[in-house]
Amino acid sequence: MSGFAGIVRLEPTQESLEADRKAIARMAEAIAFRGPDARHHFVQNGATFAFSLLTTGPAPQAPSQPVTLDGETFFLGEARLDGRQELIEKLTQHGDEISPSRCDEELVLRFVKRFGVDALPELDGDFSFVLWNSRERKLLGFRDLTGARPFFYSHKNGQLAFSNSLQALLAAGTFKLHNYDLEFIANFLLGEPHYNPERTIYAEVRRLAVGHRLEFSNAGVSTRPIAAYPIEEPLLRVPDNEVLEEFRRLFAQAVRDRLPESETAILLSGGLDSTSVTAAAVALRKKQNTRGNLRLSAFTLDFYPLFQDEDGPLAQDFAASLALPCQMIHQAHILPLEGADQGPATLPEPYDCPYPGLQSFYVSQFHTDSRVLLTGDGGDETLRAQAGPFVRHVASRSGMAHASSLVVRYVLSRRRWPALGAGLRTGFLRLVGKGPAPPPALPSWIEPAFERQFAARKRFSEISRWPSSAHPYHPWSYGKLVRFIPPLMEGQDAMFSGRPVEARAPFLDRRLIRFLFRLPPIPWYMEKELLRRAQRGILPDKIRLQPKMPLQYDPLQLHIAAGKWSPGLPDSCQDVLQGTIDWPRVRQLLTTATGYELYIHLRPVLLALWLNSVEKHGVIQ
């Protein structure tokens, strides 16, 4: 995805302007890797901008930025709009004459000019951008709900620096690299780095939270939420065939709006979500290109030879049935902690996975010129739910008899119980010693002073709970979508992969999500029934009907069992986080822990390795 960066100073002096020109030059170099097609600079009375263009499609893109219609309001950033035709028709109805060839950046400017900035939540798509008004000397920043487009900023001494790359803010030199945010560190150690979504590892850099608006003016800097996924009444009496037809229409629309005509890659597994995206993309390409050149390719990942997984061969067989090239990438040789201390190539933020080198490896191995990567991300969050909240919601509106009848009809027709989410089955199995282990306790390697400073016990209890939300009958799915999807999507950004490839997830289309969150969980969300029925005749039954399967084995345990790696504490770790981590306790636990506990005790090690690398080299990737 394209790179953008800027510095705005409301009361510039000749000296500060010269400093900003030098800083923006460094920021431009830092974002150059994101956009190989063109680079642009802009300087105007206290505003200095840099842009690097990555041409993707399918919508037209502005060849240079910033973009302006009137010489007063300037657009800088990224915008991939969904429903372009509907948006153009809406603007036309209000008096604008707009050609379908107009770029998304111009459509945003025309939309704001016609309806005002308060209407921005009505826009669908993935975006992260600023609007600079040179007359009012005010800058507004926006970020959509998916989190796929990052936005970072730093405010100091009347100056606002911003970018979609942390590397650019660090290159600007407006703050100290080694001034870390202790609250972010606390959240990282407790298992949820983005528990406070505005925090970054750097104390002087903030992340604009998804669905938020930033404003910078003489009054200072402020942010506030402006968009959220809607909560609406369920569609209880819609015939099944109409539900399936509408889902197919919206899903095809979501894929079409994300599928460029150029080379496109697909991250493919043998599961239901990515194969559904793949089938839709292939069908659309066949309609677009009668010569049979799909200009699509896929890749799938496995842990061979650690273990033989059926998922990869299943994905390859499916791709072959569509005449789709599919590359198998073996990743078992990437060892735990490999890549955590990469020297000058250190990631811009610490990575909380024991395999921090995996993403950069598979992205570098995939042989393609694609600039867009389609994924099945979001399928589990938008198509799975617990039935209990829905039953309670119906009971509160229509009575317990009606709610009970929904469950009874489901059991009689499917011959299985819906996933109620009440914890009854889990509680019984745990009682007889067969259920999952209770939630982990606060890590014992947290030093008491640090625990008190950040109320770590209370914070850990909140982090450990399942995501909750205000949605009356989809609280689990809604909470997962809001809490876990944004950092997942941001983690696929070029800022972390180092390659100008833009990840797009059709299941996160806001128009599709709005429809899905109105469907009653019984029956549509039980075992992903909606998707399984909608894909009848499209996916092979071997894929369509197979139950959701977790990874068959834990690679961490297999690497240990194979003698490829043993958990231990690198000597360099003990030099940092003093007063925060009881390192002798970490060393002891790493030698005895198994299963999920081992992942918990590796968190301080991953953080310490990252900190050591930054302290030693003073730069990041």
Ranges of H-type helices in 366-454: 379-383, 387-398, 400-414, 424-431, 448-453
DSSP 162: E
Top mean pLDDT of 44-58, 291-305, 573-587 is at 44-58
- What confidence category does residue 362 fall into, taking pLDDT thresholds of 50, 70 and 90? confident
Q: Which two tokens stand for residue 441?
A: 């306790």
Find out whether 523 and 240 touch, Cβ atoms under 8 Å.
no
- Average pLDDT (578-606) is 91
Lowest pLDDT segment from 38-42, 351-355, 379-383: 351-355
CATH number for domain 240-300+309-333+354-383+476-544, candidates 3.40.50.620, 3.40.1360.10, 3.90.420.10, 3.40.605.10: 3.40.50.620
Taking the domains of the chain in order of start, what are their residue ranges? Answer: 3-225, 240-300+309-333+354-383+476-544
Roughly what angle, to the nearest 10 degrees, separates helices 596-617 and 583-592?
Answer: 140
Residue 268 to residues 205, 272, 375: CA-CA distances in angstroms? 35, 10, 7
Q: Please report, in angstroms and rounded to a whole number, the separation of the first and last CA atoms in the chain.
A: 17
Question: What confidence tens digit (pLDDT) does each residue in 453-496 have?
Answer: 999 999 998 888 767 788 999 998 999 999 999 999 999 999 98
Give the three-class secondary structure for 57. coil
For residues 75 and 133, give the distance between their C-alpha atoms in angstroms, rounded to a whole number.
9
Topology at the third CATH level for domain 3-225: Glutamine Phosphoribosylpyrophosphate, subunit 1, domain 1 (3.60.20)
Ranges of H-type helices in 32-117: 84-93, 104-115
Give the three-class secondary structure for 537. coil
Find out whether 344 and 362 touch, Cβ atoms under 8 Å.
no
pLDDT for 426: 45
Find out whether 379 and 507 touch, Cβ atoms under 8 Å.
yes
The number of beta carbons lying within 10 Å of the beta carbon of residue 266 is 26
Answer with the residue of higher pLDDT: 72 or 158: 72
Roughly what angle, to the nearest 10 degrees, separates helices 387-398 and 400-414?
Answer: 140
Top mean pLDDT of 273-282, 299-308, 475-484 is at 273-282
The Cα angle at residue 88 between residues 84 and 89, in degrees rounded to 5: 120
Question: What confidence tens digit (pLDDT) does each residue in 379-428 have?
Answer: 999 998 888 999 999 999 889 998 889 899 889 888 888 887 754 344 43
- How deeply is 552 buried, as exposed, middle or buried, from its count of CB atoms within 10 A (0-12, 13-18, 19+)? exposed
Output the pTM of the full model.
Answer: 0.93
